[in-house]
Amino acid sequence: MQRITIAIDGFSSCGKSTLAKALAAKLGYSYVDTGAMYRAVTLYCMEHGIIKDGAFEELEVNKALDHIQLDFRYNSQTHASDMYLNGRNVEKEIRQMDVSNMVSPISKVHEVRKRMVALQRLMGKDKGVVMDGRDIGTNVFTDAELKIFMTADNDIRTQRRVDELKAKGIKVSVDDVRKNLMERDYEDSHRKENPLTQAPDAIVLDNSDLTREEQMDFVLKLVMELKLPEQSV
């Protein structure tokens, strides 16, 4: 079957990456977690004193970008790709609350977005990719053959994030997680450049009451029903 681009956008912690990862594995596609890229840039800025007391100079962030190299590498133990920052596995660090609290402001920086989007387009240029984020269907791959906009109830999202972090050995309070999710949703949907919004041609998936299998069935059905133009050779 013709390889396509699948864009999955939506609010924080509504299960985008879980679904995207499983879908990519099922279809034999690659998976790109674009949020991890913005998180890795944020981590770099924290570790290099560019973010101080929750504030930063945009110019300093722009300069730092020349020293940041990002790539995903397959982890045979977890059967997933881990985020590497300058050759170091940062998969755990980028999920910590201090990074979560600064990632939305950093992802608003024009030069950060420009670089990340260029990298994402490169990663997905050959199709056969499932990419999740906030602006994949509306900006990175506006021509994606399938666009999903995911959402879920706030309490359910909070609990899922708490469980996910606990499973990774990261201690958090439910209140802190909820506050972070609400603030990020607001900031991500109200920023000037490429805010989170539903693409007009995206299909909404509210997974509040759906199991992982039901979500997978829902999307696979959409993939099967796609009417693709004849491929030119």
For ligand DC, the binding residues (CB under 6 A) are: 12, 34-35, 38-39, 103-104, 107, 133-136, 184, 188
29 or 161, CB closer to ligand DC?
161
CB-nearer residue toward ligand DC: 52 or 190: 190
**Cβ-contact 124, 117 below 8 angstroms:** no
CB atoms within 10 A of CB 28: 8
Report residue 221 as tokens: 């059905």
Strands 30-33 and 203-206 turn out to be unpaired
Cβ of residue 17: shortest distance to ligand DC, in angstroms?
7
Q: What is the dihedral angle through the alpha carbons of 153, 23, 25, 1, rounded to the nearest 10 degrees?
A: 180
* Residue 136 CB, nearest approach to ligand DC (Å): 6
Q: How far is the CB of 1 from ligand DC (least distance, A)?
A: 26
- Cα 200 from Cα 220, distance rounded (Å): 20
CB of 24 to ligand DC, least distance (A): 15
Judged by beta carbon, residue 124 or residue 133, the one nearer ligand DC is 133
The burial of 193, by beta-carbon neighbours within 10 Å (0-12 exposed, 13-18 middle, 19 or more buried), is given as middle
Q: Name which of 120 and 217 has its Cβ closer to ligand DC.
A: 120
Both tokens assigned to 149: 């906009």
Q: How far is the CB of 208 from ligand DC (least distance, A)?
A: 18
Residue whose CB is less far from ligand DC, 27 or 181: 181
